[in-house]
Amino acid sequence: MPLSLLCTDPHAIKADKWITANPMAFDMFCRIALDYHFAHKGKKVGAKAIIEIMRYELMKLGEDQGEFKYNNNYTKATAIRAIEKYPELAGTLTTRAKR
């Protein structure tokens, strides 16, 4: 079930649309989070750190963020969606509390 149906937060709705439009970027987010999870025995990592790693990896490749351009307001919703897909990330990914 799409995150947008579970939540009325406008950022979550926009994040769901971004994830649907950019499945390769969402897969990259999940892959990096899973790599961290298995390499560090489930230690916590901020979802924002995963986003910054994605940006760094794209920069190293010399790629413009282009279609992967990411709004930081989507971070929490992206992490929730990743946890829905990979429940083992529940103890690994952390997000900031809503202000």
Range of the domain at 18: 10-94
Q: What is the model's pLDDT at position 5?
A: 45
Model pLDDT, residue 53: 92
Residue 5 lies in a domain: no
Residue 55: inside a domain? yes
In a domain? residue 2: no
* 3 domain residue, yes or no: no
Per the domain annotation, does 36 fall within a domain? yes
Residues 34-46: b if buried by 16+ CB within 10 A, e if exposed: eebbeeeeeeebe
Give pLDDT tens digits for 30-83: 999 999 999 998 799 999 999 999 888 887 877 665 556 788 888 999 999 999
Higher-confidence position of 89 and 12 = 89
Is residue 62 one of the residues assigned to a domain? yes
User: What local confidence, expressed as pLDDT, does residue 72 receive?
Assistant: 87
Q: pTM for the complete prediction? A: 0.82
Total tally of structural domains belonging to the chain? 1
Q: Is residue 1 part of a domain?
A: no
Is 15 a member of any domain?
yes
